[in-house]
């Protein structure tokens, strides 16, 4: 992994649970929350077993010893670089700007990072906090002072990956808790994490497969963030939207006025007074990025009843060709209606230049269709009524490009069962269309 253009230090806090017998103390539960004043440290206790490891350009961590400032120099600490801190901790004796600090907390650690950020006195806040599927139980619906919130740092971003409720509780918090809140695949559950994937997890994790399957969606937030570092050139883009249903219709692929942002480390930091909810679709494994497209198709149904069927599309781009993307339109196709839906691609096909559209139907249904048209001679409509597909309008989320496609054969706009039609780029002017084959 080459991240030299943006080198940063990572301070990893390895918390080792110390048994009560080590200090002769009982582990009585204490109220959880923010404390008004610091608790005085008992100097008679043994030296802490918590280890502070500094990671720089090498993979080997260098231990920083408490109250030994010389170890900072020995470990090559560079105050000019951004500092990523997993959990928290630094010496006030070192001249270091808080705005360079980036806390990353996973699950309960996300709220701990928030507590750390809010407990710092003065007017200068730490630079950034990233919450990776912040814990939901006991925090959902709580006040901002009792959870991670936008007030805890100059910029707070959160990734929600496991908000599906079980008996009224969810592992990850669902409500917005940052300046930008990202909801991959709706945030409820993640692809590749279903129990149907258990056999694949057994092959990979052995006896730990069940545990891995259960926490798969929760941990996906961590993997998505790491993915943003591993694949800096192909960042996942998310879009401002009210909910996943609207996003699935392709209605939210706009980047105007800051309506889209990059998920992960390279997020565009724009602190705002109101939280923004952004949605995106991801793959089931790394690299997680997909390419989002809105398709708007206008049909004219020449029959009297809605037609329920499946269509497939093959997309040809300047870089790649995608085969047979299946489409099923809800309650069927009514007359003279435009349908909008979201299509995602795992690869970058470049600029879209041609669409092959096919009405998928069994041979039996096609024969029935033709028979019905033959035995109704009194019909006042067309001899072989079917679907008329007028135009296909496409918007690419990642490039924001808008395109219109018209039938290559303008003499026959009708689409029948098992028939495939080719659509090419065209320009629509008023009620007429001019084809431009490219």
Catalytic residues: 107, 133, 218
Residues in the annotated binding site for Ca(2+): 147, 152
Distance CA 255, CA 48 (A): 49
**Residue numbering of the annotated binding site:** 147, 152
CB 306 within 8 A of CB 329: no
419 touches 359 (CB < 8 A): yes
- Closest alpha carbon to 345 in 408, 276, 394: 394
Tokens of 406: 């018209």
Give the C-alpha distances (Å, rounded to integers) separating 105 from 31, 110, 137.
Answer: 21, 4, 16
Residue bearing tokens 């649970």: 17
For residues 377 and 138, what is the distance between their CA atoms, to the nearest angstrom? 69
């Amino acid at each position: 992994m080459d991240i030299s253009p943006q080198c940063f230090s990572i301070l990893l806090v390895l918390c080792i649970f110390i048994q009560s017998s080590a200090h002769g103390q009982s582990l009585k539960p204490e109220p959880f929350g923010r404390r008004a004043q610091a608790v005085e440290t008992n100097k008679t206790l043994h030296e802490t077993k918590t280890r502070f490891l500094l990671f720089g350009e090498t993979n080997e961590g260098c231990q920083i010893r408490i109250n030994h400032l010389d170890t900072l120099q020995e470990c090559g600490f560079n105050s000019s670089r951004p500092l990523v801190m997993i959990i928290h901790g630094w010496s006030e004796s070192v001249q270091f700007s808080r705005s360079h600090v980036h806390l990353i907390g996973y699950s309960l650690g996300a709220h701990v990072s928030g507590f750390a950020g809010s407990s710092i006195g003065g007017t200068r806040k730490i630079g950034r906090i990233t919450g990776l599927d912040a814990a939901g139980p006991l925090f959902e619906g709580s006040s901002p002072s009792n959870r991670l919130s936008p007030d805890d740092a100059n910029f707070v971003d959160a990734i929600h990956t496991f908000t599906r409720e079980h008996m009224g509780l969810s592992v990850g918090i669902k409500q917005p808790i940052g300046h930008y809140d990202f909801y991959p695949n709706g945030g409820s559950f993640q692809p590749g994490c279903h129990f149907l994937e258990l056999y694949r997890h057994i092959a990979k994790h052995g006896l730990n497969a069940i545990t891995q399957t259960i926490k798969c969606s929760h941990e996906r937030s961590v993997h998505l963030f790491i993915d943003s570092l591993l694949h800096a050139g192909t960042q996942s883009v998310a879009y401002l939207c009210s909910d996943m249903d609207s996003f699935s219709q392709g209605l939210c692929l706009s980047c105007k006025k800051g309506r889209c942002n990059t998920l992960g480390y390279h997020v565009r930091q724009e602190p705002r007074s109101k939280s923004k909810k952004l949605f995106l679709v991801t793959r089931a494994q790394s690299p997680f990025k997909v390419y989002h497209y809105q398709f708007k198709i206008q049909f004219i149904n020449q029959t009297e009843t809605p037609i329920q069927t499946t269509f497939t599309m093959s997309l040809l781009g300047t870089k790649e060709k995608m085969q047979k993307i299946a489409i099923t339109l809800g309650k069927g196709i009514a007359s003279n209606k435009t349908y909008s839906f979201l299509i995602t691609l795992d690869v970058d096909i470049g600029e879209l230049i041609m669409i092959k559209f096919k009405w998928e139907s069994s041979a039996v249904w096609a024969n029935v269709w033709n028979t019905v048209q033959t035995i109704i001679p009194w019909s006042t409509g067309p001899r072989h009524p079917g679907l008329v597909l007028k135009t296909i309008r496409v918007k690419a989320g990642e490039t924001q490009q808008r395109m219109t496609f018209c039938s290559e054969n303008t003499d026959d706009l009708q689409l029948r069962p098992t028939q495939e039609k080719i659509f090419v780029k065209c320009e629509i002017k008023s009620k007429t269309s001019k084809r431009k084959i490219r």
